[in-house]
Amino acid sequence: MGYQVLARKWRPSAFDQMVGQEHVVKALTTALESDRLHHAYLFTGTRGVGKTTVARLLAKSLNCETGTTSSPCGQCSSCMEIAEGRSVDVLEVDAASRTKVEDTRDLLDNVQYAPSHSRFKIYLIDEVHMLSNHSFNALLKTLEEPPAHVKFLLATTHPQKLPATVLSRCLQFNLKNMLPDQIVDHLGHVLSEEGITHDADALGMLARAAEGSMRDALSLTDQAISHGGGSLTVDNVRQMLGTVSKTKVLDLLETVIGGDPSAALAAINDIATHSPDYRGTLDEFASVLHHVTIAQMVPDSLEATIAERDRIVAIAASMTLDESQLWYQMARAGKRDLSLASDPRAGLDMAILRMIAFRPGLVIQDAEQAGAATPKKSDPPVLPVVSDTTSSETTQKSSTVLSDGADPTGAMRAQAVGSAGSARVADAPPESSLSVDREIAETPPTPVTQPQSLQPPIAAPVTSETSTTSVDSINALSGEPAAPAVDTADISAGVPDGAKETLNLESIDLNTAADDLPTTASWCDFFEDLQLKGVIHNVVSHFELDRVSGRTLHFKIAEQNATLYNDRHDSSLAAAISDAVASPVTVAVAMGPTGELTPFRQRELKDRARVEAAEQALDRDEALANLLTEFDAQVVPGSVRPPLVDI
């Protein structure tokens, strides 16, 4: 006998040889052993997963001369005839070539006759969805109430094309696509039995190319053996399939991460020299991004045997989750659109360049904020300071001019938030004290007239675009040697009664270093100035500032809003706040209930207020009222959408 292809030679001859269809095998063997047999079975699934094979094994089990069994002998005349396709009692029909109603009627004319020498007369109809509607109608009555000696075994790749009346008369089994690992294991067993040398990575490439079909995998293996001269190597299989090595795909991904279009096109040129399948290239690119995402989110689940594992882990550490997710979607969309491109190479170029051009990096604000001009932050007024090479600067911001009854500390914090990110006067070290000339301290407040003149303890209000009345009230001012340090009681003694009412110096800690940090009340405004991007921007918008302890900000986030939160967000938020206040801070986040003082909630309240204001304006609008009356109409509740900018 001549050469027999692997797909036919290694077709299972018993249920225990089936790969990857345990759910079907278990159900059928249980039914056979308990003699609970249906009169019609429908096997569905993609190509090459074992639909016809299972049907033939079931036919053997039903007609084996040893009796109805889940383990047919394979040696009796009935089993051998079925295996060779020459049994007169097992009628195998290709519905694709017999679609007419006349063919179906001819087939059913013999249903009433008993089998020749077997237990059952079995009709095995492959690709049954190809029958015409008239053929299905002719089959219905017999399919519903067949003679006791008749069994119908139907197989199809498109069960959705079958009439519901046919589906309801059959016991349906859906055969699953096989996993790559299952295909690799089976191919390894087959090649070992055939005595063919092979690489494990080559089998993995064949398994992925088979897309869940064992028959396709065996056919590709036959082709690869011929291509490789009797052996399977990675290079030969890659050349045969037109796939690209993972190393080159990782090189391409690194150019995308670096944002270098020239290097990306050079990497694509290198790939193009191997005449690849560009759809396969985008497939491999998406596969790498899949591994990268797993390494980012569930590192322990990344397979240890995967090729270039260490490099994938390193790349995962250099990417954000936003990038891996967005680029994966772009790779899948690029593959989908490849057939629409002027040529496949151009489609690959555009997919990669699109990833570089549209990488995550911008925070999307609401239209109201986007339409408004960003206010410029004013620098604090520059005042003369002590110039002494032997001493360090001890200037410290201490207060703002307050109206009667205002809280000096709260105003100071609000002013600090308003001017975050601007130039600041250096903070004094904790052990140093503020040196102020006693004569100057006793001088009543006067407005600033000359830059060279000495400044009083309380300066006149200075207005700017972003703050109302904010000046430094106590500074080191004299060009003469600094006077001994004085405490707040001394300073207060030299300030006139009117000034004491305006500013209570005893309530201010001159050595405090946290006046530039946000408070619980000012956190929402402070958040809008932070340079946060993507997912972290959305997550932090649900943070509520609980308290500030030194240089540590303690936040709370509700559990239902913490789905995307992870520990890396703490360091990113701390870095953003440190940049805003120009000094290092730390962040601590705890789970807990939050109130109204989260940026997200404040934005919701603001939007709701705008909607309510718009609804009230419509209620007062006479023209609209006349229109509603004339047409007997009404405003649909909840449909009012106010303009995002004032008209």
Is the same domain home to 23 and 157?
A: yes
Which domain covers residue 308, as residue numbers?
Answer: 246-357
pLDDT 10s digits, 30-46: 999 999 999 999 999 99
Q: What is the pLDDT of residues 268-317, one digit of tens each?
A: 999 998 778 888 899 999 999 999 999 999 988 888 778 788 999 999 99
Task: List, for residues 166-183, the tens digit of each pLDDT value.
Answer: 999 999 999 999 998 999
Mean pLDDT along residues 377-393: 40
Task: Supply the DSSP string of 71-109, one letter for each residue.
Answer: S--S-SHHHHHHHHT--TTEEEEEGGG--SHHHHHHHHT
Most confident of 155-169, 495-509, 600-614: 155-169
Burial of 265 (0-12, 13-18, 19+ CB in 10 A): middle
Q: Mean per-residue pLDDT for 128-137? A: 90
> Crossing angle, helix 261-272 and helix 246-258, to 10 degrees?
160
In a domain, 645, yes or no: no
Residue 354 has pLDDT above 60, yes or no: yes
Domain presence at residue 153: yes
Give the sign of the dihedral formed by CA 600, CA 601, CA 607, CA 611.
positive
**243: three-class secondary structure by DSSP:** coil
* Last-in-domain residue among 512, 547, 579: 512
The CATH number linked to 192 is: 1.10.8.60
Phi, psi dihedral angles at 635 (to 5 degrees): -80, 125
Q: Are residues 214 and 141 in the same domain?
A: no
140 and 250 co-located in one domain: no
pLDDT over threshold 90, residue 379 = no
Which tokens hold the place of 294?
């797993």
Confidence of residue 514 (pLDDT cuts 50, 70, 90): low
Query: What are the tokens at 647?
Result: 């008209």
pLDDT at 210 over 50: yes
- Cβ atoms of residues 49 and 212 within 8 Å: yes
Do 151 and 13 lie in one domain? The reply is: yes
| Res. 644: pLDDT tops 80 | no
In a domain, 301, yes or no: yes
The yes-or-no verdict on residue 156 having pLDDT over 70 is yes
DSSP E strands: which ranges in 450-512?
none
The answer as to whether 327 is a domain residue is yes
CATH code, 273? 1.20.272.10
Please state, for a pLDDT cut of 70, what percent of the chain lies above it. Answer: 75
- Confidence category of residue 208, pLDDT binned at 50, 70, 90: confident
Residue 81 lies in a domain: yes
Report the pLDDT value the prediction gives residue 168, as an integer from 0 to 100.
93
Say if residue 323 is in the same domain as residue 224: no
What's residue 645's pLDDT?
55
Q: Do residue 12 and residue 125 come from a single domain?
A: yes
User: In terms of domains, do 189 and 235 share one?
Assistant: yes
pLDDT of residue 20: 87
| One-letter identity of residue 330 | M
In this structure, what CATH number is given to the domain that contains residue 534? 3.30.300.150
DSSP symbol at 379: P
Q: What's residue 361's pLDDT?
A: 56
Mean pLDDT of 359-363: 57
Q: How many domains does the chain have?
A: 5
Whether residue 316 is found in the same domain as residue 393 = no
pLDDT at 599: 92
Q: How far apart are CA 411 and CA 409, in angstroms?
A: 5
* Residue % of the chain over a pLDDT of 90: 42
Burial class (CB in 10 A: 0-12, 13-18, 19+), 150: buried
Decide: residue 30, CB within 10 A, 0-12 exposed, 13-18 middle, 19+ buried: exposed
**Main-chain dihedrals φ then ψ at residue 213, nearest 5 degrees:** -100, 120
The position carrying tokens 């859906």 is 174
Query: Residue for token digits 């559990």?
Result: 559
Residue among 607, 608, 599 nearest 539 (CA): 599
- Among residues 213, 241, 269, the one where a domain terminates is 241
Q: How confident is the model at residue 372 (pLDDT cuts 50, 70, 90)?
A: very low
Same domain, 442 and 295: no
CATH number of domain containing 19? 3.40.50.300
Burial track 314-340 (b if 16+ CB lie within 10 A, e otherwise):
ebbeebbbebbbbbbebbbebbeebee
Per-residue pLDDT tens over the stretch 435-460: 334 343 444 444 444 444 334 444 44
Kindly report, residue by residue over 406-443, the tens digit of the pLDDT: 444 444 444 443 443 333 333 434 443 333 343 434 44
In a domain, 281, yes or no: yes
The verdict on 232 and 250 lying in the same domain is no
Looking at the predicted structure, is the pLDDT value of residue 523 above 50? yes
Q: What band does 81 get if pLDDT is binned at 50, 70 and 90?
A: very high
Residues 6+ apart with CB under 8 A from 606: none
Question: 15 lies in a domain?
Answer: yes
Residues 18 and 151 both lie in one domain: yes
- Amino acid (1-letter code) at residue 31: A
Beta bridge mates, 92: 124
From 421, 427, 401, 404, select the one nearest 412 (Cα to Cα).
Answer: 401
| Average pLDDT over the chain, rounded to an integer | 78
Of 174, 189, 217, the position where a domain reaches its end is: 174
pLDDT tier, 218 (very low <50, low <70, confident <90, very high otherwise): very high
d(CA 512, CA 49): 73
My answer on whether 56 and 187 are in the same domain is no
Q: Model pTM?
A: 0.53
Higher pLDDT, 482 or 294: 294
pLDDT at 476 over 70: no
354-376 mean pLDDT: 55
Would you say residue 623 lies in a domain? no
